[in-house]
Amino acid sequence: AQSVAQPEDQVNVAEGNPLTVKCTYSVSGNPYLFWYVQYPNRGLQFLLKYITGDNLVKGSYGFEAEFNKSQTSFHLKKPSALVSDSALYFCAVRDVTGFQKLVFGTGTRLLVSP
């Protein structure tokens, strides 16, 4: 069965500093990996995905994520955090075989302080 772990409930970072939001996954085959962001009282917005190819994936709003197959990780990163990046971030995984059910992590709240 597929699963995703986001080990940190909350990440605190100062504006201008680099940020990392961690995600590890488990699938039986090759993974499709996604990051979504949720702002208060809004739906989830797609940030980026890894399907195949380059292990470093660039997405919206300056975010990027690095796929590491040996460590089964897909950490979200940004070189310089903004206060407006404060939100809830979800990692999700889908197995490429069978029906494409998306399994979400429990979410990590990112708080960027001025």
Under rule CB under 8 A, residue 59 binds other proteins? no
Query: What is the secondary structure of 22-64 as a DSSP string?
Result: --EEE-SS-EEEEEEEE-TTS-EEEEEEE-SS-SEEE-GGG-E
Under rule CB under 8 A, residue 100 binds other proteins? yes
Complex with other proteins: residue 42 or 69, whichever CB lies closer: 42
Binding segment (CB under 8 A) for other proteins, from list 18-26, 36-44, 54-62, 68-76: 36-44
Q: Cα(11)–Cα(27) distance, rounded to whole angstroms? A: 26
| Of positions 3, 30, 51, 98, contacts other proteins by CB under 8 A | 51
Under rule CB under 8 A, residue 109 binds other proteins? no
Query: Can you tell me which residue has the tokens 């990046």?
Result: 85
